[in-house]
C-alpha cells in the first residue's frame, strides 16, 4: 500500500511540473493558435486527472489510517489482555512456588523424622521436578512478557508514522487547492486570449477589405490618369480644382501606408477620409469629361495656359524648371 501511495504522489508531482511548464509557455506567448488551444485543453484534462488522483490518494490515506488505527487498537487490547493474563499467571506461579517452598520445608522437616527415607527421597525428587517445571514456565512467561513489551514500544513509532501521513495529506490538500486556483487563472487568461484573437481577426479583416478597396481605387485612378496629362489639366482648370489634388491624394495614401504606432481606430478614420477624397476626385473627373473637347491648351516658356470657351485663359502649370504643386512641393 505504501509503494502504491508513493507512486501516485510521484505521478501527481510530474503532472504538476507539466502544468507549470504549460503555464510558462502560455504567459510567454500572448497569441495562441489552434494547436496551442488543443494543447491547453489537454493540460486542463491533466488537471482533472490530477484532481481524480487526489481523491484516490485521499481514499487510500483514509483506508491506511483506518487500518493503522484498527491495528493499534487491536494490539493494545491484545497486549492488555496478555499482560493481565501473564500477571495473573505470574502471581499464581509465585503463590505456587511459595506453597511448594513451604511444602518442601515441611517435607524436609518431616523427612528427618520419617523412617522410610527411600519414599521421602522419591517424594522430594518429584517436588523438585515440579519446582523446576514451574521455574521453567515462569521463565517462559517472562520471556513472552519482554516480547510484548517490545511490541508496546513500537506503538509510538507507528503513531509518528501516522502523524507524518496526516501531515502529508495536509500538504497534498494545499497543493490541490493551489492547482485549482492556477486552473481558474489559466481559464480566465484563455478566455481573454480567445476574445482578443477574435477582435484582432475582425479588425484585420476590416483593414484588409479597406486596403483592397483603396488599392483598387488607386489602380483605377492611375489607369485613368495614364490616358494623358492635358485631359487632367483641362478638368482641373474648368472647375477650379488643382491638378495636384490627385498627387496629394496619392501622397496622402502613401503617408498613411507608412509604418507607425497608430491604433486601429485612427487607421479607420484615415481610411474614411481617403475614401471621401477619392470619391470627390471621381465626381470631378465625371463632370469634366463632357467639356474636355472644348478647351485649348497653350504651352509657353512661362507656363501652360488653357483657353476656355469664353475667351479667357488661365495658367495651369509652372515652367518645367520649377514644376511644383500648390503646396510648393515638386511634382511626382
Residue ranges covered by each domain of the chain? 2-201, 227-322
Q: How confident is the model at residue 180 (pLDDT cuts 50, 70, 90)?
A: very high
Please tell me whether residue 12 adopts helix, strand or coil conformation. Answer: helix
Lookup: cell for 48: 482533472
Say how far residue 45 (Cα) sits from the centre of its chain.
Answer: 11
Is residue 246 over pLDDT 80?
A: no
For cell 493551489, name the residue.
178
Range from 33-37, 71-75, 125-129 carrying the lowest mean pLDDT = 33-37
What pLDDT score does 50 carry?
79
Q: What confidence tens digit (pLDDT) does each residue in 274-300 have?
A: 555 555 655 565 555 545 544 555 555
Is pLDDT above 90 for 181?
Answer: yes
Q: What is the mean pLDDT of the segment spanning 253-263?
A: 42
Asked if pLDDT for residue 259 goes beyond 70, the answer is: no
Q: What is the rounded radius of gyration, in angstroms, for the C-alpha atoms of the chain?
A: 54
Give the C-alpha separation, 149 to 142, whole Å: 10
CB-neighbour burial class of residue 89 (10 A; exposed 0-12, middle 13-18, buried 19+): middle
Cβ distance 43 to 20 under 8 Å?
no
Helix H, strand E, coil C: the string for 148-184 is HHHHHHHHHHHHHHHHHHHHHHHHHHHHHHHHHHHHH
Identify the burial level of 204 via C-beta atoms within 10 angstroms of its C-beta, where 0-12 means exposed, 13-18 middle and 19 or more buried: exposed
Are residues 292 and 257 in contact, defined by beta-carbon separation less than 8 angstroms?
A: no
CA angle, 20 as apex, 18 and 23 as ends, to 5°? 110
Contact 210, 270 (CB under 8 A): no
Instruction: Please compute the mean of the pLDDT values over residues 253-270 and round it to a whole number.
Output: 46
Q: Is the pLDDT of residue 164 over 70?
A: yes
Query: What is the model's pLDDT at position 62?
Result: 86
Cell triple for 267 = 487607421
Q: Is 31 helix (H, G, I), strand (E, B) or coil?
A: coil
The residue length of the chain stands at 332
- For the chain, the straight-line distance linking the first and the last C-alpha, in angstroms and rounded, comes to 87
Cα dihedral 96/97/100/101 (nearest 10): -150
| Whole-prediction pTM | 0.24
Residue 90: is its pLDDT beyond 80? Answer: yes
H or E stretch at 313: strand 313-317
Which pLDDT belongs to residue 12? 64
Least confident of 42-51, 79-88, 139-148: 42-51
Tell me the angle at which helices 117-225 and 2-28 cross, rounded to the nearest 10 degrees. Answer: 20
128 against 232, higher pLDDT:
128
User: Taking all residues of the chain, what is their mean pLDDT, rounded to a whole number?
Assistant: 71
- pLDDT per position as a tens digit, 192-241: 999 999 999 899 888 888 888 888 888 888 888 876 544 444 444 444 44
Q: Which fold has domain 2-201?
A: Helix Hairpins (1.10.287)
Q: pLDDT value at position 318?
A: 40
pLDDT of 289:
52
The cell for 216 is 483598387
Angle at 125 between CA 119 and CA 126, to 5 degrees: 90
User: Measured on CA atoms in the order 253, 259, 261, 263, is the torsion positive or negative?
Assistant: positive
Collapsed DSSP state (helix, strand, coil) of residue 112 = coil
**What is the distance between the alpha carbons of residues 217 and 285, in angstroms, rounded to a whole number?**
14
pLDDT at 256: 42
Contact 305, 314 (CB under 8 A): yes
Amino acid at each position: 500500500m505504501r509503494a502504491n501511495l508513493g507512486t501516485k504522489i510521484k505521478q501527481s508531482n510530474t503532472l504538476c511540473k507539466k502544468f507549470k511548464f504549460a503555464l510558462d509557455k502560455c504567459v510567454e506567448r500572448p497569441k495562441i493558435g489552434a494547436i496551442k488551444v488543443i494543447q491547453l485543453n489537454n493540460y486542463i484534462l491533466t488537471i482533472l486527472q490530477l484532481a481524480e488522483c487526489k481523491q484516490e490518494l485521499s481514499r487510500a490515506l483514509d483506508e491506511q489510517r483506518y487500518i493503522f488505527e484498527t491495528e493499534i487498537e487491536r494490539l493494545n487490547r491484545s497486549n492488555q489482555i496478555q499482560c493481565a493474563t501473564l500477571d495473573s499467571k505470574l502471581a499464581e506461579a509465585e503463590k505456587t512456588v511459595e506453597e511448594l517452598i513451604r511444602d518442601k520445608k515441611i517435607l524436609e522437616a518431616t523427612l528427618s523424622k520419617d523412617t522410610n527415607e527411600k519414599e521421602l527421597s522419591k517424594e522430594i525428587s518429584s517436588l523438585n521436578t515440579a519446582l523446576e517445571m514451574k521455574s521453567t514456565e515462569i521463565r517462559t512467561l517472562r520471556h513472552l512478557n519482554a516480547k510484548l513489551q517490545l511490541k508496546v514500544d513500537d506503538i509510538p513509532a507507528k503513531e509518528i508514522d501516522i502523524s507524518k501521513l496526516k501531515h502529508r495529506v495536509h500538504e497534498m490538500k494545499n497543493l490541490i487547492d493551489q492547482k485549482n486556483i492556477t486552473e481558474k487563472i489559466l481559464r480566465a487568461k484563455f478566455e481573454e486570449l480567445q476574445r482578443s484573437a477574435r477582435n484582432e481577426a475582425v479588425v484585420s479583416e476590416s483593414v484588409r477589405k479597406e486596403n483592397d478597396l483603396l488599392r483598387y481605387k488607386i489602380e483605377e485612378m492611375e489607369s485613368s490618369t495614364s490616358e494623358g496629362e492635358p485631359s487632367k489639366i483641362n478638368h482641373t482648370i474648368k472647375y477650379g480644382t488643382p491638378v495636384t489634388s490627385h498627387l496629394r491624394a496619392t501622397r496622402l495614401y502613401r503617408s498613411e501606408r507608412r509604418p507607425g504606432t497608430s491604433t486601429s481606430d485612427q487607421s479607420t478614420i484615415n481610411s474614411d477620409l481617403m475614401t471621401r477624397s477619392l470619391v470627390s476626385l471621381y465626381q470631378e473627373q465625371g463632370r469634366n469629361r463632357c467639356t474636355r473637347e472644348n478647351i485649348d491648351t497653350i504651352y509657353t516658356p512661362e507656363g501652360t495656359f488653357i483657353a476656355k470657351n469664353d475667351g479667357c485663359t488661365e495658367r495651369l502649370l509652372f515652367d518645367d524648371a520649377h514644376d511644383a504643386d500648390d503646396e510648393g512641393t515638386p511634382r511626382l
